[in-house]
Each structure stands twice: as C-alpha cells, then as structure tokens.
C-alpha cells in the first residue's frame, strides 16, 4: 500500500517539506480554490502537480473533485455541470492523475460538533455529540420535525445545553458544524443554512439515489475511456443530517452504488472512520466484499457512544479492527499484482488525527494536524510491515 498525505495546497499550514519528513510518498489534494461546478483547467492542474513533483512526491489522488449541489438536487443546468465534470476528469487524466475521490453528501461534508474535545492522555480530537447536534437542529436552526430524529433523552439533554449556553457557545457550535467544508464557497450562517435546506424540501432518499445514478451514468463511461478511477467517499457521519437523506452510509448503500453502474471505474474510498461511526456497520466485511473496487483508503478510527455520539480515537484503539482491514487490502494488492494490473497498489492516508504536542500552534484545518497524523501514519506503517513480513 502506498503511503499518502492530504495536503490543502496554498491553503495548508503544513508545508510539503514537512510532509517529506513523515515518510509519506504521495500527495492527496485538490484545487480547493475553484468554485464547485467549474472546469479544472489543465494549466492549473499541471502547476499544482509540478509543485508537488518538485517536492519529491506524486499527486496520487484528487480529493475531492466536488459536485455542484444542483447535481445532488437534480436541478439547474445539469447538462453543463456534467460536461464540466467530464472535462475536469479529462484534464486530470491528461496530466497523469487517474484517481478521483468525491462524495454525494447534501450540503455538508464531514460534520462534527466539537473540534477540540480533550482526550485522556492529553491533546484533543474531533467529536460528534448527539445532544449538541440536536440542540443545533431543534433550538438554533428551528428545523421542523427535528425532534423526530432523536431519542427523548438526547432531546432533553439538548435543551439543557441550549438553556445553559452562551452566544459564544452557539457560535462555536455553528463554526464546528461548518468546518468540514475546506475549500467550499458556501459557509452558512443560521439563515443561510435554512435557505439552503429549503432547496431540498420534499426530497427523500429515493430522489437522491435517482440523482446519484444519473451522475454515475453521465460520468463513469468517460472515466472508463480515460482509464480513470472514481471512488465515492462514505457519508460522515453515516446517517441523515439536518433532515437530508444520506445514501452512502451502510453496506446496502454501497452495494447499491457498485451495482448502479457495474464497472471498475465506479469504485469506493474505504473510509474506516466514516463507516465505523455507525456501530451496525461491519467495516471489515464491507472491505472484504468490495475490495476489488477499493481505489483509495482512509484509515482512522472512532469510538462510539450508546446515544449516537462518537469521537476520533487513536488509529489502532477504536471500534474498528484496522489490522484486519490492512490485511484485506494487502491481499487485494497481491491479487491485482498477480493479474499484472498497473494500478495494483492501493494508496491510503492516515485520516484525521489528534492534536498533539505543538499541533495547536500550527492552526491547521480541523482534523488535519501534522504530529497527530504522523503518529497515525507511523502506527499503520508498523501494522503493514508486520503483516507483510
């Protein structure tokens, strides 16, 4: 497996020269400055690729080539949006980049309620608190029917938190929920989020699935022609958020996606943390079933609470068996290599990480500290070496 590292380009406080010291061999990045729906031009791609190459890396994975919200809603000038997406894919392939991660989460990407939750041995982690999310939806956003989405004990705790919270507490909660969108141009305040949610009114999971299937049929044939691998990222967390249906959350969802356009170019980003945030997901079994369609892996761990909350755990100490996942991916690599596939190697990155030691001074994107991810990479590297011995 190839060690890679997520880098946010000019927006990132972690420099490529520092990433070299982690031992990672490849870079995962995107042109975050380009608004969603616009074409990624070849000169912009090549400039970013050349900077990465000059630092001693390959640009292994695009994360992400984002989808405009109109594609998810099935509204607007879809023909132009699909054409732009296909052109961006063609431009990436022309510049030698052939793996593209994306997601189909409505409005928000990964969602957390706390960005600096203390951990036992020192440092902080990302956390999703069920009662804080309920307080946001019910008390701050005033979303109709939000109380139907939470158990009574979570709702009671949500109201307690809201009554005791200050304006600053509420502002911090909104900021935390919005922080999973680096590079996105839509940062919502309460009124803006209410308006954005209104554009999805009346849509159910079947509607979102139909729009997703349309997207696959519009772009996967082009990916096949280009020799490009698309890999969808699971929902994070793997549950409906803000009343919006999420359709990449469990084993049934993933099986549906793989069958919606049955081709190697329609693949999966195996994110152990996202899938692991649903205790009912057997992440190892999902990996085993779909290993031939895994084009990219995010390896991290979470620790779940009974009320639906979870937090980022140490990479080897959460609820998911990371060594078992690594074993499956290594076996899949052997199968691909024996078939003489040029793309036999599976890139992975240590996803998220605790803020440790001097990480807070660096002011990196939430979840992407230098030292915390370096610890995760070192631990996973050790597992891979042991399994490969």
Active-site option among 233, 290, 295, 354: 233
CA atoms within 13 A on the CB side of 289: 14
- 296 alpha carbon, distance to own chain's centre: 11
- Return the structure tokens found at 248: 């990449």
C-alpha dihedral, 137 to 139 to 143 to 147, nearest 10° = 80
Q: Is 326 one of the catalytic residues? A: no
Per DSSP, the residues of 124-180 read EEEEE-HHHHHHIIIIIS--TTGGGGS-HHHHHHHHHHHHH--HHHHHHHHHHHHTT
Cis peptide upstream of residue 237 (ω within 30 degrees of 0): yes
Q: Quote the CA–CA distance of 273 and 366 in Å, as a whole number.
A: 15
Active-site option among 98, 295, 298, 354: 298
Q: Contact, 308 vs 277, CB < 8 A?
A: no
Terminal CA-to-CA distance of the chain, rounded, Å?
14
Active-site option among 235, 253, 351, 359: 351
Sign of CA dihedral 369, 372, 374, 380: negative
Q: Is 32 one of the catalytic residues? A: no
Q: Is 261 one of the catalytic residues? A: no
Q: Is 351 one of the catalytic residues? A: yes
Q: Contact, 160 vs 139, CB < 8 A?
A: no
Which strand (E) or helix (H) includes residue 304?
A: strand 301-304
Q: Is 233 one of the catalytic residues? A: yes
Supply the residues annotated as catalytic.
233, 271, 298, 351-352, 368
């Amino acid at each position: 497996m190839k060690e890679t590292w997520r880098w946010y380009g000019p927006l990132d406080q972690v420099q490529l020269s520092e990433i070299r010291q982690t031992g990672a061999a490849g870079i995962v990045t995107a042109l975050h400055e380009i608004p969603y729906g616009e074409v990624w031009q070849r000169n912009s791609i090549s400039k970013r690729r050349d900077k990465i190459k000059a630092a001693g890396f390959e640009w292994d994975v695009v994360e992400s080539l984002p989808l405009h919200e109109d594609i998810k809603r099935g509204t607007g000038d879809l023909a132009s949006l699909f054409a732009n997406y296909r052109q961006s894919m063609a431009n990436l392939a022309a510049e030698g980049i052939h793996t593209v991660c994306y997601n189909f989460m409505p409005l928000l990407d990964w969602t957390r309620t706390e960005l600096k939750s203390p951990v036992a041995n020192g440092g902080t982690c990302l956390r999703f608190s069920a009662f804080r999310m309920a307080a946001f939806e019910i008390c701050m956003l005033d979303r109709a029917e939000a109380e139907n989405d939470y158990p009574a004990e979570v709702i009671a705790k949500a109201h307690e938190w809201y009554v005791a919270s200050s304006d600053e507490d509420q502002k911090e909660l909104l900021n935390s929920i919005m922080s999973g969108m680096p590079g996105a141009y839509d940062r919502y305040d309460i009124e803006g989020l209410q308006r954005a949610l209104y554009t999805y009114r009346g849509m159910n999971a079947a509607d979102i699935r139909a729009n997703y299937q349309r997207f696959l049929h519009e772009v996967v044939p082009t990916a096949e022609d280009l020799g490009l691998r698309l890999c969808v990222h699971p929902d994070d967390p793997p549950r409906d958020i803000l009343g919006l249906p999420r359709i990449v959350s469990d084993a049934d969802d993933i099986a549906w996606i793989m069958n919606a356009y049955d081709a190697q170019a329609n693949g999966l980003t195996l994110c152990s943390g996202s899938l692991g945030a649903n205790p009912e997901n057997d992440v190892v079994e999902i990996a085993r079933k779909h290993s031939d369609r895994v084009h990219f892996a995010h390896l991290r761990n979470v620790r779940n609470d009974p009320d639906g909350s979870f937090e980022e755990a140490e990479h080897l100490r959460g609820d998911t068996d990371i060594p078992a996942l690594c074993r499956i991916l290594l076996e899949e690599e052997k199968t691909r290599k024996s078939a003489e596939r040029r793309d036999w190697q599976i890139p992975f990155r240590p996803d998220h990480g605790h803020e440790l030691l001097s990480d807070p001074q660096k002011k990196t994107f939430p979840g992407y500290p230098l030292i915390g991810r370096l610890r995760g990479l070192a631990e996973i590297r050790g597992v891979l070496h042991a399994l490969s011995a």
